[in-house]
Chain A
């Protein structure tokens, strides 16, 4: 009787916790979307922002967010997965490996503003680039690398030993085994980690304030020459992202429609992260199906 009561209480407590989590999420989403959705219009998404007048859009900020995400991922994914492979397959258990693992963990828990200051020092001043997309992407890489390394390592270690043995016993070398058996099996978990990391990149402001900057030059979207200062593809230009834009209009905005712009931007940010998530998962499942031959 007593254990039955305890069981019922436990069930109730866990259901209550689940409800709390769901209601926080739903509340947050509906708050952002209800407040912001009405300001989203084609015009809002396709006009450049204005520093003084009302009616500015977020075209460049939106593009910058995705572009910085792309550049960051191009740098961070190979390094992160490579680090994960090293930790899981090549590093011999021992002091050195433990030290590397601690470093990775400490790196992932550094406050992003500290990484921003570090980025200012190294990627902005030391290199002499000034505020650039590349500097921002490198700072974000520092910030996301540990997550991807850790997730890849765990995903690779979770691949059944039997699969690895089967491949090695066929006379397949270690690298080929990693490439053709281990990575495909670990792919879904690695992808989840990358999506989480990407979400963090998308919403990050503090690390970008001092690296990618608070401004965007006048961009010409017809100019695809990545070396031209007006080209959106130039990685050596300053770039204010959506998250940074929300922060800057709220703290130092001179425009009269601060609330509209920041609420609208917040809604766009949330929707973008959501769409990005869904898209990445969909592509991921297509790839998984292709590898595993499931329909």
Chain B
């Protein structure tokens, strides 16, 4: 009884199966995700890791002919049930994509976009959200003098941080990152990794990555996917030093993948 921890599960996924048409892409996934932890998902191309992360905010529904069974509980509510408010879910579960995808608008408008459409009208409030979000991603000092210039004028790394700021502006609990540094140079990558370590103080982060060093640097838990199955989920140190499954060991030591 004394062992009540503060970490609680944000997501609890039970027996999740997913099919693209006839292709069984995710097989019986059971996956708890804890609050304010960074969970990294690794695995070879086509193992289902991107598919999995896209189920967490149901972006997967954009793909035609997707069928899912099982449960994805987010804060106790099964998001696969019919009663779900998709807008509410995606406000709470933000997402950052492989390539920075700012809107062709000003830096300010990009960050203010979500809050504005979700009903924030007063300029003082918007200013505050924009400032805070840009500070959270350590972009404020770089852009504070040119908030009203086009976001597409930023460098690739800055654009990606802007997209993180844009996702943070709707005040989510969870941030999903789908290979967020795969299109960035090493220095920008480093900045994003530092950012992830800071953001985990406030947010729960799930990151898909191809880069195993990255997983070991930024995450608390690591999950290894192979051919649509969750092979192993454990603390990052265990996965990288003493994995239980030989396929995990084979992958992280570079024997395949």
CB distance from A70 to the nearest CB of B (A): 30
Q: How far is the CA of A172 from the CA of B106 in the complex (A)?
A: 19
| Interface pair B167/A168, CB less than 8 Å apart | no
Residues of B within 8 A of A121 (CB): none
Segment at the interface with B among A26-34, A95-103, A134-142, A158-166: A158-166
- The residue that B118 contacts in the complex, of A160, A165, A171, A184, with Cβ under 8 A, is A171
Q: What does DSSP make chain A's interface, helix, strand, loop or mixed? A: helix
In the complex, identify which listed stretch (A3-11, A237-245, A287-295) lies at the interface while the others stay far away.
A287-295
Chain A residues with Cβ below 8 Å from B104 are 163, 184-185, 291-292
Contact A171 B88 (CB under 8 A): yes
CB atoms of A170 and B88 under 8 A apart = no
The answer to the question of A1 belonging to the interface, with a C-beta cut-off of 8 Å to chain B, is no
Answer yes or no: A225 CB below 8 A from chain B CBs.
no
Asked whether any CB of chain B lies closer than 8 Å to the CB of A23, the reply is: no
Asked whether A162 and B149 contact (CB < 8 A) given A170-B170, A171-B87, A176-B117, the answer is: no
Q: Whole-angstrom distance from the CB of B257 to the nearest CB of chain A? A: 26
Chain A interface size range: 20 to 34
| Cβ-Cβ contact count across A and B, 8 Å cutoff | 76
Residue B95 interfacial (CB < 8 Å): yes
A169's partner among B102, B148, B149, B167 (CB-CB below 8 A) is B167
Partner of A291, one of B57, B105, B163: B105
| Contacts A293-B106, A294-B150; A170 near B94 (Cβ below 8 A) | yes
Interface string of A150-181 (1 = CB under 8 A from B): 00000000001011011111111100100011
> Are A169 and B59 in contact, with the CB atoms below 8 A?
yes
> How near does chain B come to A190, taking the closest CB pair, in angstroms?
15
* Contact assessment for A171 and B97 in the assembled complex, using a CB-CB cutoff below 8 Å: no
CA distance A165 to B114 in the complex (A): 13
Closest CB of chain B to A250's CB: distance in Å? Answer: 49
Residues of A within 8 A of B118 (CB): 171
B114 touching A170, Cβ below 8 Å: yes
Instruction: Please name all residues of chain A whose beta carbon is closer than 8 Å to the beta carbon of B166 when the two chains form the complex.
Output: 166, 170
How far is B114's CA from A65's CA once the two chains are assembled, in angstroms? 44
A134 to B103, CA, bound (A): 40
Is the Cβ of A168 less than 8 Å from the Cβ of B62? yes
CB-contacts of A189-231 with B (<8 A):
none
CA of A295 to CA of B62, assembled, Å: 35
- With a cutoff of 8 Å between Cβ atoms, the chain A residues found around residue B88 in the complex are 171
Q: Which residues of A contact B97 (CB under 8 A)?
A: 162, 165-166, 169
Report chain A residues within 8 Å CB of B36.
none
Chain A residues, Cβ within 8 Å of B16: none
**CB-CB < 8 A to A165: which residues of B?**
59, 62, 97, 101
A173 to B88, CA, bound (A): 11
The residue in chain B whose Cβ has the minimal distance to the Cβ of A295 is B149
Given A162-B99, A166-B103, A172-B117, are A293 and B148 also a contact pair (CB < 8 Å)?
A: yes
Of B90, B102, B109, the residue contacting A171 (CB under 8 A) is B90
**Do residues A170 and B167 form an inter-chain contact, with CB atoms below 8 A?**
yes
| Docked pose: A184 CA to B106 CA in angstroms | 13
Which residues of B have CB within 8 Å of A292? 104-106, 150, 152
A184 vs chain B, min Cβ distance (A): 7
| Interchain nearest-CB distance for B162 vs A (Å) | 11
Q: List the 7 shortest-distance A-B pairs measured between CB atoms, nearest first.
A: A171-B90, A293-B106, A162-B101, A169-B95, A171-B91, A170-B114, A171-B87
